[in-house]
A and B are shown apart, each in its own frame.
Chain A
Amino acid sequence: MPIDVPVAPSSWSLHYYLLVFIASIGVYQVSSTIAGLSGIGFVSYRPLRLLLGVMIIAGAFLWFFLSEPNRNHLQHYVEGAQQLGFFLLGIVTAYIANCVLASLIQIGATLAARRPRGLRQWDQGMETLKHTTLIGGIIGSIRHRREDTV
């Protein structure tokens, strides 16, 4: 019985990356609802944001598994280390894209750039995203640093 030689066409790897990228954005929307991190949410109304996140995750899986009927084929094999690499790339780029988009949607909060005083960024981390957006948080950090040094 012959054994096929594994091939990982770049288009399939790209499909896998897109699955992770889109589904991760859905996860960020769901988790922002649960954790109250409104700074990374696309919609201010929390139930709607949760629904949006679930729909994005479901949509990503549906697209991935319905667009290729013969998904279980050695031609679509992506090696373990490659899968891990694409997964990490997917969640990181999705986080950046999600945060930038949320910062633009919530431009008012971004420009207000509020951050609780007396706490440094490495004490706050994601907690900042309860009060402002990612770009707002970065602007806030720069403002605070300037105020501290003046």
Chain B
Amino acid sequence: MPPLSGWTLWITGFVGKVPALDNVMSLLVSDFFIPVAIALVMLLLWVGHPNPEKRASLQKTIMNASVAIGISTLTVRVVNMHDFWPRPFLVDDPVISAAAWRAADIVFYHPHDPTFPSNGATIAFAAATGVFLGHRKAGAVMYVLATLWVFARFYAGIHFAFDLLGGIVIGVATALMISKVFMPRTEPIPTLALKAGRFLYIA
């Protein structure tokens, strides 16, 4: 059992008590709602600045965040290859597994892939951190969306708190490394990519 696994028992105890809350969480935990919203914020930043220099700078920020998403996803895959951490509803503890199974049944579904580290937390926080480094306000909005998604996944009993914290750490650390260390060293490739994009009217 991972650390903080008792928290899962506590949070899943709320599921089924207030149907309206379950409905909201069911929307927030969806594989499509917050991920698409985050990606659309990034698309808005790519196109939506009136100043061409500032727009180009934001486009580099989006490129950094996208690379961070890719690298952090790869990191999760590598961790998953080494060990299979079962979802809370599949652990040996019958009390926790029954509570998590019931919560996932009501709010979400029963995913079959490893629970640690949380892929959703990794991607959402990599994107939010990558964007935050280039645009504070949009980054803050994305942090709020990422936090809501992560909390909803915890509420649905499909992750232990430890899985989510692991995902957040991987996502934030990868985005910082990519934006501050890796991408600046790859110049002039990002600038050339933007030039090619301009030729196609997409940058």
Contact = CB atoms under 8 A, between A and B. Distances in A.
A31 B44 contact: yes
A31 B47 contact: yes
Interface string B20-33: 00000011011111
A148 interface: no
A73 B198 CA distance: 41
A72 B199 contact: no
B30 A71 contact: yes
Contacts of B195: 122
A35 B47 contact: yes
A3 B44 contact: no
Interface in A46-70: 57, 61, 64-65
Contacts of B196: 122
A72 B44 contact: no
B95 interface: no
Interface string B27-50: 101111101100110011001111
Given A1-B101, A4-B110, A34-B50, A126 B198 contact: yes
Contacts, number: 108
Nearest to B29: A72
A28 B47 contact: yes
Interface residues of B, number: 40
Nearest to A5: B112
B201 A137 contact: yes
Contact of A64 (B29, B32, B39, B101): B32
Contacts of B101: 1
Contact of A122 (B30, B33, B73, B199): B199
A64 B31 CA distance: 12
A97 to B, nearest CB: 14
Interface string B174-203: 000000000000000000001111110111
Interface residues of A, number: 46
Given A80-B119, A126-B55, A87 B32 contact: no
Given A20-B36, A27-B40, A127 B112 contact: no
Contact of A83 (B35, B48, B90, B109): B35
Interface string A3-30: 1101000000000100110011001101
Contacts of A113: none
B26 A72 contact: yes
A1 B86 CA distance: 13
B107 interface: yes
Contacts of A73: 109
B118 to A, nearest CB: 13
A1 B52 CA distance: 56
A124 B119 contact: no
Contacts of A36: 50
Contacts of A127: 52
8 contacts: A19-B36, A61-B33, A71-B26, A72-B108, A87-B39, A121-B199, A122-B199, A125-B52
Interface of B: 26-27, 29-33, 35-36, 39-40, 43-44, 47-50, 52, 55, 73, 89-90, 97, 101, 107-112, 119, 194-199, 201-203
